[in-house]
A and B are shown apart, each in its own frame.
Chain A
């Protein structure tokens, strides 16, 4: 697993799981449709990504579908970072 996915997974664990929540998260775990991240709480994940990776994520790219797995989130970040570069 690359550093980007490790960092997103780590953030999701810290931000959205309670301390006694022992669910296993992987890059393909369904975050929003799986009930781990609700749409109200997505803003902090979006802000974390924008700060850490110096990208601006348009609302259209921060849809529940695009943010449903760590893999799909990483794809959004990679695409926006490539455009910026």
Chain B
């Protein structure tokens, strides 16, 4: 319908949302998609701005931690799965939407994660959206780290349990909360395994010990850890020596485990069985397509056969963190392949990202509301697919752009004094 002849109510909603979109643009917060013209990898062809000729750039912002997104064995397995099991299920799981390979993947994940039972979801966001509401109610309390992922926050909102939070990774504060809510039926301590914006690891050994001492349950979203954190890539429970002691783990196949989509909740049998009965994203939407199940099964084989990829990722992470630090960048300390370069000011983060793209390095500036105000940054992410030559080239580009903006060797106070917050 032509907007000029639309009835008043339609014109009104157009005006409202145009004004809101204009305000987002004016604030410099408008998110634009960049079109990639080839398979995901360490180097990709990116069309940006829209309509420009695709440009080959180094990719330092993908969750492709193990470099498996386009691995020939994964692609071949997905092809084979498509041929053998077809394209769509046309049903939710409990009607006629469960194939043998769905259960095979659930058993494989339980074995890999060292858990009792696993349930697939279309995404980890769906797993987080469904798990709390399915298991907990008004007699319970959910106690979350203040920096947990947005999908956990959404899932907690859908649940009738009382909610509370503890200061990020502050074990003293967490214990205060466990004591404060001692009158509740179940207290559930909720954390990310690796925090997606800061790249730091939860103190999972201390969290599990505290929870056990107080008789509380533990929940970990290990999306930024499964496949590569821990000596054999089993995630933060392995890294901290608490494998098998976390009650509920959610994770994704959309990052290290092939990068397509899908996720799961895995853990104590009774809890996962109850999710199979009650979790609404499981009950009311189709599960993973066979093609993705087949690809993910092959990924599980790959990561179980060898730690070579997670070992290379670890080496790349050490090289990158050392290189940025020696060059004088202000980075968030940690051990994960998420390495945030702190710039504090949103416009500076965008300008640096734009200049790096011009130098052939694809990164994205993150700012409010994705991170707290005054905490703008560029989040770099390493991959096992990166070669040493890739990372040296990226470091050269970072140093060149860092010099241009005069941020090398500068403290937070000096950067804020010059660029503001």
- A: residues with CB less than 8 A from B are 18, 35, 38, 40-41, 43-44, 47
B164 at the interface (CB under 8 A from A): yes
Q: Are A35 and B163 in touch, CB under 8 angstroms? A: no
Of B164, B167, B372, B373, the residue contacting A40 (CB under 8 A) is: B164
Beta-carbon nearest neighbor of A18 in chain B: B167
Q: List 17 A-B contacts (CB under 8 A).
A: A18-B168, A35-B372, A35-B373, A38-B146, A38-B165, A40-B153, A40-B156, A40-B163, A40-B165, A41-B164, A41-B165, A43-B162, A43-B164, A44-B164, A44-B177, A44-B180, A47-B180
Interface string of B129-161 (1 = CB under 8 A from A): 000000000000000101000000100100000
A43 contacts across to B, CB distance below 8 A: 162-164
Majority-rule SS of A interface residues: helix
Kindly provide the distance from the CB of A42 to the nearest chain B CB, expressed in whole angstroms. Answer: 9
A27 to B79, CA, bound (A): 63
A43 to B153, CA, bound (A): 15
Beta-carbon nearest neighbor of B142 in chain A: A40
A47 to B156, CA, bound (A): 19
Counting from the closest, the 7 A-B pairs by CB-CB distance are: A40-B163, A41-B165, A43-B164, A40-B165, A44-B164, A43-B162, A41-B164
A38 to B165, CA, bound (A): 9
B144 contacts across to A, CB distance below 8 A: 40
Kindly provide the distance from the CB of A30 to the nearest chain B CB, expressed in whole angstroms. Answer: 13
Interface string of B37-80 (1 = CB under 8 A from A): 00000000000000000000000000000000000000000000
A35 to B369, CA, bound (A): 11
A38 contacts across to B, CB distance below 8 A: 146, 165
A38 to B153, CA, bound (A): 11
A47 to B146, CA, bound (A): 19
Beta-carbon nearest neighbor of A41 in chain B: B165
Beta-carbon nearest neighbor of B373 in chain A: A35
Kindly provide the distance from the CB of A25 to the nearest chain B CB, expressed in whole angstroms. Answer: 16
Kindly provide the distance from the CB of B3 to the nearest chain A CB, expressed in whole angstroms. Answer: 34
Give residues of chain B (159-190) contacting chain A, Cβ–Cβ below 8 Å. 162-165, 167-168, 177, 180
A43 to B166, CA, bound (A): 12
A3 to B164, CA, bound (A): 26
B167 contacts across to A, CB distance below 8 A: 18
Beta-carbon nearest neighbor of A43 in chain B: B164
Q: Which of B144, B177, B180 has the most CB of A within 10 A?
A: B180
A25 to B167, CA, bound (A): 18
Q: A44-B180, A47-B180 are in contact. List 19 more A-B contacts (CB 8 A).
A: A18-B167, A18-B168, A35-B372, A35-B373, A38-B146, A38-B165, A40-B144, A40-B153, A40-B156, A40-B163, A40-B164, A40-B165, A41-B146, A41-B164, A41-B165, A43-B163, A43-B164, A44-B164, A44-B177
Beta-carbon nearest neighbor of B369 in chain A: A35
Beta-carbon nearest neighbor of B173 in chain A: A15
B373 contacts across to A, CB distance below 8 A: 35
A41 to B181, CA, bound (A): 13
A44 to B176, CA, bound (A): 10
B162 contacts across to A, CB distance below 8 A: 43
A47 to B162, CA, bound (A): 12
B165 contacts across to A, CB distance below 8 A: 38, 40-41
B164 contacts across to A, CB distance below 8 A: 40-41, 43-44
A38 to B168, CA, bound (A): 14
Kindly provide the distance from the CB of B289 to the nearest chain A CB, expressed in whole angstroms. Answer: 34
A35 contacts across to B, CB distance below 8 A: 372-373
Beta-carbon nearest neighbor of A17 in chain B: B167
A18 to B163, CA, bound (A): 20
A61 to B163, CA, bound (A): 17
Q: Which of B144, B153, B163, B373 has the most CB of A within 10 A?
A: B163
A5 to B177, CA, bound (A): 23
A54 to B372, CA, bound (A): 35
A13 to B86, CA, bound (A): 58
Kindly provide the distance from the CB of A83 to the nearest chain B CB, expressed in whole angstroms. Answer: 25
A44 to B181, CA, bound (A): 10
Q: Which of A18, A35, A44, A47 has the most CB of B within 10 A?
A: A44
Kindly provide the distance from the CB of A81 to the nearest chain B CB, expressed in whole angstroms. Answer: 22
Kindly provide the distance from the CB of A56 to the nearest chain B CB, expressed in whole angstroms. Answer: 15
Beta-carbon nearest neighbor of B168 in chain A: A18
A31 to B146, CA, bound (A): 16
Q: Which of B146, B162, B165, B180 has the most CB of A within 10 A?
A: B165
Beta-carbon nearest neighbor of B163 in chain A: A40
A35 to B168, CA, bound (A): 16
